[in-house]
A and B are shown apart, each in its own frame.
Chain A
Amino acid sequence: MNRFLRLVSRDLRLALRQGSDATVAVMFFVLCVVLFPFGVGPEANILARIAAGVIWVAALLASLLSLERLFQNDYEDGSLELLTLTSLPLEAVVFAKVLAHWLVTGLPLIVAAPLLALLLNMNPEGFPVLIGTLAIGTPTLSLIGAIGAALTLGARRGGVLLSLLILPLYIPVLIFGAGAIDASLSGFTARPHLLLLGGLLVAALPLAPWAGAAALRQAIE
């Protein structure tokens, strides 16, 4: 456990000192959402109608943007090999890196989301559900993305490949994430959607580190 926390804190420290990953993800998220009023037009009703979907799609893309580098730096400078040689299981290494990645890129999205929802004229009644879905959904995105990041490690133009590989897997999260908000805004209960989102997270928690570790072993050989 101690080693696990050490790895998380090292990754956090690296991310905060380099600074770029965290700010890039959240800036991309904001810009992406801000583009929609320009493209769709300033009609307040239309914006309110599409707000949930737009925010979720933007969150998806922002999460994808930084995932490419999840293992890349450690792979290139030889740290990844050394991490596999510690007594920390590789599955725990993957989980630690995902956790650090989510703290750096996922949490800021959750903080920024209500502001953007306000910008898109979303009914404030939907805000708690918006934050709730993002809090359950973005860790799932990071976990699923870690599998793709590990699989595309060492591939040329890995970033493009990663998007093709991972975006289809993000679809269920998108459906239930946006669906929960829509449901609560139209007066239905968001509970079934949230439960399904939670189910996805619970499934991804053990499966993603396991699959990611298997892919990393392949990449290191």
Chain B
Amino acid sequence: MLYHGTSIMQPANARADSPVPMPLFAANDLTCLRGERLVFQELSFAVDAGGALVLLGPNGSGKSSLLRMMAGLLRPFSGGMSWDGEPVSSDPDLHRSRVHYVGHLDAVKPVLSARENLAFWASMGGAADPMESAMAALERLGVPHIADVPGRYLSAGQKRRLNLARILAAPAPLWLLDEPSVALDRAGIGQLEEAIAEHRRGGGIVVVSTHAEIAIPGADTLHMDDFAVNAVPHDGYDHEDDQDYEP
């Protein structure tokens, strides 16, 4: 999927002549406080256009909190993020409209058909012809046959595919996927991998938290354990290193 009219259309090397190469999406010393508990501290990352970041860590290590923070749903206790050099906090609304977020909830309305559900989100995301792009997205995820099925009759896996179809139905440069493979079958994961690869080819960024096997070639990994309070450094962890993520 290609993005028109945004800076990420430039290939990464187009900015090579600028004095300091700037990653597209970066964070500096993020600290997350939930209630009175410090979830993680001094977390930094940098992702370039077309890059991917995989969040790894046990339950409760703050993967979801970090994704919500990246989406602008959660305010960092300290530290900040930047997009294309501009601090995200200077225009939070603009940042939110750059984001496609897939959380644990599928946001499927039981009384609307799959296509109506999808078309609504497509139109909110700015798709020119919501019904058309909804149908195209369903086809790409291999479920065109559920188009007219009301949300309440969809299985967990179908709801998940519908939620993932939402991010295909309207363009946004930053995909934040929180355990996207939950409830998906093998074929579904394959289609998701394909969609992620295509999104990155178009210059988009993907951040995924996962326990299951999603092959994302060339993705950076971020071990949440390293930023836990009183962290023990992770063995062989190198933040700068591009490594294939294949669990």
| A contact residues vs B (CB 8 Å cutoff) | 2-3, 6-7, 10, 13-14, 17-18, 76-79, 81-89, 220-221
Contact A79 B123 (CB under 8 A): no
B75 within 8 A of A: yes
Asked whether A220 and B108 contact (CB < 8 A) given A3-B123, A85-B97, the answer is no
Pairwise interchain contact A221-B111, C-beta atoms closer than 8 A: no
Closest chain B residue to A74 by CB distance? Answer: B107
Contact of A87 among B97, B108, B111, B116 (CB under 8 A): B97
Interfacial chain A residues near B75, Cβ < 8 Å: 221
Beta-carbon contact of A220 and B93 below 8 Å:
no
B171 to chain A, nearest CB (A): 12
B93 pairs with A87, CB closer than 8 A: yes
A10, B120: Cα distance in complex, Å: 7
Partner among A6, A17, A79, A221 whose Cβ is within 8 Å of the Cβ of B73 = A221
Q: Which residues of B contact A88 (CB under 8 A)?
A: 124
A76 to B126, CA, bound (A): 24
A2 touches B101 (CB 8 A): no
CB–CB B73/A86 < 8 A: no
Q: Is B96 an interface residue (CB 8 A)?
A: yes
CB distance from A10 to the nearest CB of B (A): 5
Known interface pairs A81-B103, A87-B93. Does A13 touch B123 (Cβ–Cβ under 8 Å)? no
B71 within 8 A of A: yes
- Given known A17-B111, A78-B106, A79-B109, contact A85–B101 (CB-CB < 8 A): yes
Residues A77 and B109 in contact, CB atoms below 8 Å apart: yes
On whether the beta carbons of A83 and B73 are closer than 8 Å, the reply is no
Residues of A near B72 (CB, < 8 A) are 85
Q: Are A82 and B97 in contact (CB under 8 A)?
A: no
Within 8 Å CB of B107, what residues of A? 77-79, 81-82
Chain B nearest CB from A85 CB (Å) reads 5
With A85-B99, A86-B124, A87-B97 in contact, is A78–B71 under 8 Å at CB?
Answer: no
- Say yes or no: A85 contacts B103, CB within 8 Å: no
Q: In the assembled complex, which residues on chain A have CB atoms less than 8 Å from the CB atom of B154? A: none
| Residues of chain B at the chain A interface (Cβ within 8 Å) | 71-75, 93, 96-97, 99-101, 103-109, 111-112, 116, 120-121, 123-126, 166
Give the nearest-CB partner of B106 in chain A. A78
Residue among A7, A13, A86 making CB contact with B112, cutoff 8 Å: A13
Q: List 20 A-B contacts (CB under 8 A).
A: A3-B123, A3-B124, A7-B124, A13-B112, A13-B116, A14-B112, A77-B106, A77-B107, A78-B104, A79-B107, A82-B121, A82-B124, A84-B73, A84-B96, A85-B71, A85-B73, A86-B124, A86-B125, A89-B93, A221-B74
- Is the beta-carbon distance between B124 and A14 smaller than 8 angstroms? no
State which of A2, A83, A220 has its C-beta within 8 Å of the C-beta of B123: A2
Instruction: Check if A78 sits within 8 Å of B112, measured CB to CB.
Output: no
Nearest to B108 among chain A residues (CB) is: A77
A3 to B120, CA, bound (A): 9
Closest to A15 in B: B111
Best-buried of B74, B103, B105, B106 by chain A (most CB within 10 Å): B105
A14/B111 in contact, CB under 8 A:
yes
A87 CB, min distance to chain B CBs, angstroms: 4
Contact A18 B97 (CB under 8 A): no
Cβ-defined contact, A81 with B73, below 8 A = yes
A221 to B93, CA, bound (A): 16
Residues of B within 8 A of A86 (CB): 96-97, 124-125
Nearest Cβ in chain A — how far from B68, in angstroms? 8
Q: How far is the CA of A79 from the CA of B106 in the complex (A)?
A: 8
Q: State whether B109 touches A85 (Cβ < 8 A).
A: no
Name the contact of A6 in the complex, choosing from B105, B120, B166 (C-beta under 8 A): B120
CB distance from A2 to the nearest CB of B (A): 7
Cβ contact of A81, chosen from B101, B108, B126, cutoff 8 A: B101
Q: Give the chain B neighbours of A17 by CB distance below 8 A.
A: 111-112
Min distance, Cβ A214 to any Cβ of chain B, angstroms: 13
**Chain A residues positioned under 8 Å from B104 (CB to CB):** 78
Chain B CB within 10 Å, residue with most, of A7, A14, A18: A14
A123 to B201, alpha carbons, bound, how many Å?
73
Closest residue to A83 on the B side, CB-wise?
B124
User: Which residue of A is nearest B170, CB measured?
Assistant: A86
Bound Cα distance A77, B107 (Å): 5
Task: Give the distance in Å from the alpha carbon of A83 to the alpha carbon of B199 in the complex.
Answer: 22
